[in-house]
Structure 1
Amino acid sequence: MLGDYQQTRLSEYARIYDILIPRDHIFRRMNEEIDFSFVRKELETKYSVGMGRSAEDPVRMFKYLMLKAMHPASDEDLVKRAYTDMSYKFFLGLNPEDDVIDPSLLSKFRRQRLQDVDLLSLLISKSVAMAIEKGIIKRKSDIIVDATHELAGSIAYRPVDYMRKMYGQIFKACEPFFNEAFRHEDFPKFPEDVEFDVFKSFCYSLISLLKGNGMAQIPAIGNKVNLLKEGLEDMECRRAISRDKDAKYGSKGPGRGFFGYKAHIGMTPESIVVAATVTSGEVGDGEYLVPLVEQAKQNGIEVDSAIADAAYASKENLDTLKGDIKVVAPLNTQVTQGRRSDKETGFHYNKDADMYVCPAGELAMRKERHPMQTKKVNADGKVIRNFHNAKVVYFFDVEKCKTCPLREGCFKGTKYKTYHVTILSDTHKEQIEFQKTPEFKQKMKKRKRIEPLNAHLKNDLGMKQNISYGIESMTMQTAVAIYMSNIQKIMKFKG
């Protein structure tokens, strides 16, 4: 249950803090200038009112997570340092002689107390309100939008590699139990150099064989068989098998794929993050421009312009924000939309590779530009060629399409798998004129300011890789990292 955390026990050693920790130390300033009581208010429903022993102060537990973001380390190493580092103890509200928590409490706090709490929105709104109150950012401001990739916490296996791996583990588990009824020679051999469907059929037949002869009743074998069966079921809707079920493949350019998540971030020119969300890695950047703008508005920012790269200059974004917010994003003729939109087809443009990515996350191999065709008529006035806008056609690897779990309704068994976009709509013509103005060029110079922030969040504040599994864990890490970044900026500007 929640106890009374307002009482402070006096210590004869408290004067050590006055000697060791300067007045301008960031931990001292944070304790003096930031009211962390909102954490206790938000989490009070997660604790019993009058039953059980007094729980560790939620504010203190949250501060442990902040320290973990500032100095990325395991829970055990973090607690060990908190025991000997006086600046840590001062920030945590402990006396110099006080003991620290057991490391397992941090894991319990993350999984139980922070479950179902929209921590990302909460921490961003609190830090943005603080920045506005202290005059660090203005209510009416531009926001700079970008997405950065975050790695999953486990290895991803391609379907065939996973089947081969599990086959080896099952064979090894069966070795001690071979007998006259089921000999070593009776164990089927794994097929080589055949099509994907043959591999799947082989694995299902292996499962049936081991269940039929009773070998799957042995726990050491049955566990492996069940894992293989679960992986085969995942292959119906996923390109990779991993313990991190929410992570997916994304692309950062030719030959630069990653397996994990994406953090979509909107910040002010002062590098204060005012909006953010976390998605799986295959999601396109552009479709999150409008949600980030709406989130920034909810956090008290009157958005004047949204500054972004070419991935955000889609027709949908320009039409949605037209007349309200200026979209300062350079047009690329290969991003323009014709009759079909990215949302309808599941394809999205990857600015780093200058290619389109299919719904399964595969990058196009090449592209061709088809020029505009005008309508032609013969001597009798009959139309022999209709008018067609110029378009760019993207070609995908047919061999991958044949084994893709999303091929139903997408790949029709043709010689080529293509996707095309029509060039230059009326909306984009207006955007082209806007790009020529001095205002656009001046504001576009601000876009590069978000790159150092992305690097700081990932390399210094622990947002680079998931420490656990699942999108909830990654979102929690992102929330604490962004809050810590905002607080550091606020302290720096105020200082």
Structure 2
Amino acid sequence: STHTEARYHKTTQREMLKKASTSLKAALKAALKDSDKDIYLPDEPEKRASLDEYNEYCHELLNTVQESPYSELPTIKEESSMLSEILDNQIDCYDQSIDLDARIGHKAVNSSFYGYKTHLAMTDERIITVATITSGEAFDGQELPVLVQKSKAAGATVNEVIADTAYSTLENLKDAQSNDYKLISKLNPSIIKGTRSEDGFIFNKDADTMQCPAGHLAIKYRIDKRSNQKKNTRIKYFFDINKCHVCPYRNGCYKENAKTKTYSITIKSDYHKNQEAFQKTQYFKERFKTRYMIEAKNSELKNIHGYSRCDAAGLSNMQLQGAVSIFAVNLRRILKLKGEVCPNEEK
């Protein structure tokens, strides 16, 4: 899969000051509408004014309003506080998005993005057979059966699937066996209960830790060998209890007044044992080396076709962008395989 940032507007501090000062002036004019009094307000800087000029103007405006008899009116007090906070905190900028379908996904423990994921299936000839697009928090592994079935429906013959560790889940190993194809995906000991268990916990392979139904990552883990209990080894993950206190999914997941929140996984499965033996074979090792091709295709989509950022807000628009971009990528590849030259491409 590859991620795409949601469309957003980066609002600068100058724009924030302009917006806050305009709102304050509007609130003051509304208060003066039914009054015979008038207040002198400083002139707003010209459109090309610098940040320093806007800072000076906003300070003067704020002082004028606070010295007026209307400063304690609720609306004016609220707008004044907003403008004062921007001036005092010296906020550089903030990102503003109206994309209601986008979600936060994790590329690593300390790296996240806000947007969507595109899950791709590709042939050895580097032709994309099918793609599904989800919000950013979706788990990669759960899309594999869908990609396989859609690829078959599109006319592709699926004898094997080469993928990263996110796809070596229990459900995917079972699906590979039942649908008679080899899954060339390295095992991760933590991916034991599948793509998404009934309680909604999944293993986030990018962050290399467990993720709860609300999208929060575990802060640490512990391995319990339990040798004296004649039980299989398990991995216990610990979550931030402060996030659990206010989590909208806490009912049925977090016990009130509990001091910790943990989630345990028992390491056991014949499917995983068979896969572990398979990944030690020379065939597995040689075929797994070709997995880089999908990363190169993701890079092509992003760097050449602008797929790193959404062109418009909403999942349906992201799906349309994905369809057009993938069509263009496939067309370029087909022309190259046929020995023809793509438009705007040198021989």
Report what 2:185 is aligned to: 329
Identity %: 40
1:174 maps to 2:61: no
Contact 2:7–2:97, Cα closer than 8 Å, also in 1: no
Higher relative contact order (CA 8 A, sep 6+): 1
The offset of 1:374, in angstroms, is: 3.9
Report what 2:100 is aligned to: 245
Q: SS of the residue aligned with 2:218?
A: coil
1:282 maps to 2:137: yes
Q: What are the within-5 Å matches in structure 2 for residues 287-306 of structure 1? A: 287-306=142-161
Q: SS of the residue aligned with 1:418?
A: strand
Q: Which has the higher strand share?
A: 2
Change (3 A) 1:396 1:172: farther
Instruction: Could you tell me which runs of 5 or more consecutive residues in structure 1 were left unpaired when the two chains were aligned.
Output: 1-146, 158-165, 191-239, 376-386
The offset of 1:176, in angstroms, is: 2.9
Change (3 A) 1:310 1:430: same
| Count of aligned residue pairs for this structure pair | 279
The offset of 1:388, in angstroms, is: 3.1
Deviations 1:451-470 (A, max 9, x none): 11001001111211111110
Contact 2:123–2:129, Cα closer than 8 Å, also in 1: yes
Report what 2:312 is aligned to: 468
1:185 maps to 2:72: yes
Out of 301, 307, 319, which is 1:457 matched to? 301
Change (3 A) 1:177 1:412: farther
Contact 1:271–1:489, Cα closer than 8 Å, also in 2: yes
Q: What are the within-5 Å matches in structure 2 for residues 6-405 of structure 1? A: 147-154=1-8, 173-178=26-31, 183-187=70-74, 242-323=97-178, 324-337=180-193, 342-375=196-229, 387-405=230-248
The offset of 1:328, in angstroms, is: 0.6
2:137 counterpart letter in structure 1: E
The offset of 1:415, in angstroms, is: 1.6
Measured in 2, the distance between the counterparts of 1:169 and 1:410 equals 46
The offset of 1:476, in angstroms, is: 0.7
1:302 counterpart letter in structure 2: T
Instruction: Could you tell me which runs of 5 or more consecutive residues in structure 2 were left unpaired when the two chains were aligned.
Output: 12-18, 36-68, 79-94, 340-347
The offset of 1:428, in angstroms, is: 0.6
Change (3 A) 1:172 1:394: farther
Report what 1:446 is aligned to: 290
1:410 counterpart letter in structure 2: C
Cα RMSD (Å) of the superposition?
Answer: 2.7
Out of 238, 262, 267, which is 1:418 matched to? 262
Contact 2:219–2:240, Cα closer than 8 Å, also in 1: yes
Deviations 1:326-374 (A, max 9, x none): 111001111112xx86241222222222111222222221111111344
